[in-house]
Structures are given as structure tokens and as C-alpha cells.
Amino acid sequence: MLDEQLQAWFGEATQAHQVPGASLAVLVGSAVYCAVAGVRSVGTLEAVTPETLFQLGSATKPWTAAALMRLVDAEKLDLNAPVAGLLGDPEVASAPALMGVNLRHLLSHTSGLPGDYLLDLGEDDGVLARYASRCGALWPQHAPGETMSYCNTGYILAGRLLEVLTGKVWDEAMRDLLFSPLRLRRTVTSAHDALRLGVARGHTLREVPPSDGPGPERKAAMAWQEVPRWEVPRTLGPAGAICTTATELLAFARLHLEHGVTADGTRLLSKHTIDTLDSAHVAVPEPWSVGSHWGLGMALATWCGRRVLAHPGSGAGQFAFLHIVPDRGLAIALLTNGGHAGLLHREVLRVLLAELADLEVPAPLAPAARSAGDVRGALGEKSWASLVGVYERLGLRLEVEAKDDTEGVLRVITTGPVASLAPQPVHALPLRPVAPRQGVFATQLPHEDGWKAVVFYQLDDGRQYVHTGLRATPRVH
């Protein structure tokens, strides 16, 4: 698919999925193909160009991991050394949640730390140090290495570790260790720099007033509007603050494809280190979300017997997607600012992977229609009664109830300080069997595209957990 063909097809796909603006870049060997569509903002109607920055959100994490691995390469840091004593804070050194936690745990989401300890502690250079100090009061959800649970907290602490070991704030360390040697000119960590360079704004749906027409014509409609605040608090930087272009995201992806060597031939990371980053370190209980395993930064999947590296990200009304197919020298970067981005992402992958890598994207998770008798038989020993209960972690409470023989109810309750900020702190969602003997169910949020996995499982010591949204939540009642 040439640039002209790519542009025409991508423009149609973006419009079909009601995405306000998007940027796509594809790396095939040494060639880069680009396409853009839509607007940076529905308020200004400025067009997206290949130079437009978008938020990476959580797709920042593989960058933070790579920067730390440069220190491992330089023998300034040991992947398996406990991190508590390295964070520069005596209170943190004895924190219960950090006992036995090493860098490998932080980067593979296996530390056991509460994953969404999200604070806004200001915009000065000391925010990560203050954040690390606050983590001294946390308690672990599970022992290090016991299971995978997506952990923003761990990556923020990893960013603080980068500061301590380099003597620079995370933003400067990232520039010195990655952005500058990769010759990136439009990759930044601050909202000020992103605005200066031209950044897309995130969008959410809002209801517009009914038309003035009579009868059935008088009805409300939905429209996209800019989010009121799009910038990421500096405290959360190492977990989600990078803004960049689709083509510069590919420059980072090239590091994984070229075993640590940049486009100009500079070696940034050893081949051994890239292999370590991109090897499976832990299985993911719900492999339908991103991948079946997690490395140090990237998720790993096997599609049609072939290895695929991936990491999505979301910000305030923005969604980013990166996929790498190592054996084809292929990388796909898709950046969007709202709309049905998940559906656009799926179409982009379906078309491009089939054409460029002879790969078929796996079918999305979905519950099958079952009779009451079928469900009872399929559940086996995992009856509804064995699953009903309360599962809780920092900021979230999940209540599982039995509705009838064919369906349960998953009550999702936001807790803690952020509950007052949530537009709807309580959701009652359907819980339907997929492979119930294996503890696999599915749920669906209002206005979301597709079904989401809910997996019930036990750790080796018999403790019960539910895994959904890539997070492990222990049963408390």
C-alpha cells in the first residue's frame, strides 16, 4: 500500500469510526509510510499533519523502561537489586509495599504495589521525590512476582529511580538517554512544549440540545467536544506524559527491531538488553486485552505463531497504539484524539497486518449465547456462588452478584478521593460466561466498543483474585 493509497484509505476509515483526528505511521524495513486525517481540535478545526503531536499516555512506559535499561547496560543498576534503598528516602527504604521489590518487578507489572496511586503533587522538579515518599504508606496487594497487575505506581517509582541514579529530573534524563540520541525533535514530556510544537486535543462525547423540529424529529444528538484539561500531571510523567508524532514513535520502535541500534547506526542498547526487554517475564491472566505475556515495558502476543510486541496508551480523550512484528521488520503507530479509536485501531491492524505481515488479528473476546442448562454445565465447580463476593484494591471495589442462571452482575465502584470526581462512580454491568470452567467471563461498559475480559483465578496459596482491565484485585469478602 503506497502513501497515496494509505492516505485515501485511512481518511475514509477515520471518518467511518468518527475519530476527530488521527495520525498513522508504518515502518516496513527502512521505509516509513505516513497518513493523517481529521482535525487537531473540533474547536479550531486545524488539520492534523504528520508534525502534529499526540499524547502517548501509557505508551510512555516502554520509553521509561528503555531509559532505565541504558543504566543497566552501563552497570549502574541491577535488574534484580531491591529498589527500596535506591530511591533516596529513608522512609521508603522500609516501606512494606516495597519489601523484596526489584526493577524487574516494577517494569513487568509484578511488584504487588497498588497500581493506581495517582496523585497531582505540583509541577516543580521535586514531584517524583515527594511521590516516592508518599508510597511509604502503601500496602502490597500481593507478593512481588506472584501475578501480573498493571501498575502505574511502579513506573512512577521507576522514574524516580532514574532521577536518583542520573542526578537529573526524569524529563532531562529522558532527553539525554533517549530523545537526543534518537534525534527526536518533536518528542516532549511537558504540556508547555507540546503546546508550542502543536498538539492535538482530546475529545469526549457530549449530548447536544434537541433539534427544534416537531415530534420524533425533536431528539438529542451526540457530538464531540474538547476535554477541559488534557495535560498529564507531572507526578505521573514516567507512566504517561510523553507527547510525540507517529513517525517519531516509530524511531523508538526501530530500537526494538534493530536490536538497540538507531537509524544512524548508533548503539543505544545492547542486543542482550533488547532481548531482555522483549522477553516474556510474566503471563497475563486476561490475554485478550493486549497480549498473553508482559516483558519489561512491552506486552507480548503470539498471533498465527508469530511474535508481536504491543503497547496501547490513553490520555484525556486520546488513544495511542504501537505494534511491532519483529520477524517482518514491521512497526505500526496509530495516534488518535477521540472517537471510536478502538474500532479504528482494529481496522488498521486487520488491513495492514494482513497485507504487510500475512497475519490475522485474533477475534475479539465475546460471550456466547447459552441456555441456563448450558451455563450450569459449563460452570462446573465454578458455580455462581463460588464467584459471588467483594473484590477490592486501592480506588476500586468490585461486587460480583448472581442475576440468574445465565448471567451475573459486576458492580464497579470507584472509591477514595477520586470517587467525588467520577461522573458516574458506580456501574452495574452484565457478567456473562465465556469459558467459565477456566474462570473466564466478559463484561461491557456503556458506550464502549467490544467486551472486556473478567477472569477469576487463584494464586498458589489459594487466595482468590479477579483480573480485569489488566489489574488483579483480591477477594476481601
Instruction: List, by residue number, the catalytic residues.
Output: 58
d(CA 37, CA 12): 9
Per-residue burial over 210-248, b = 16 or more CB atoms within 10 Å of its CB, e = otherwise = eeeeeeeeeeeeeebbbeeebbbbbbbbbbbbbbbbbbb
Instruction: Say if strands 243-244 and 389-393 run parallel, antiparallel, or are unpaired.
Output: unpaired
d(CA 19, CA 344): 8
Per-residue burial over 18-30, b = 16 or more CB atoms within 10 Å of its CB, e = otherwise = bbbbbbbbbbbee
Secondary structure letter of residue 374 according to DSSP = H
Residues in the chain: 477
3-state DSSP assignment of residue 417: helix
Show the DSSP H helices in 310-360 as ranges.
341-357
Whole-number Cα distances in Å, 35 to 30, 221, 229, 376: 17, 30, 27, 50
Give the amino acid at 268. L
Q: How many CB atoms lie within 10 A of CB 121?
A: 17
d(CA 447, CA 455): 22
Instruction: Return the H-helix or E-strand segment holding 44.
Output: none
In contact, 345 and 319? CB cutoff 8 Å: yes
Per-residue burial over 82-103, b = 16 or more CB atoms within 10 Å of its CB, e = otherwise = bbbebbebeebeebebbeebbb
Query: What DSSP string runs through 382-409?
Result: --HHHH-EEEEETTEEEEEEE-SSS-EE
Residues 6+ apart with CB under 8 A from 464: 389, 391, 456, 457, 458, 474, 475
In contact, 135 and 117? CB cutoff 8 Å: yes
Q: Which residue has the cell 479550531?
A: 44
- Phi and psi angles of residue 166, each rounded to the nearest 5 degrees, phi first: -100, -15
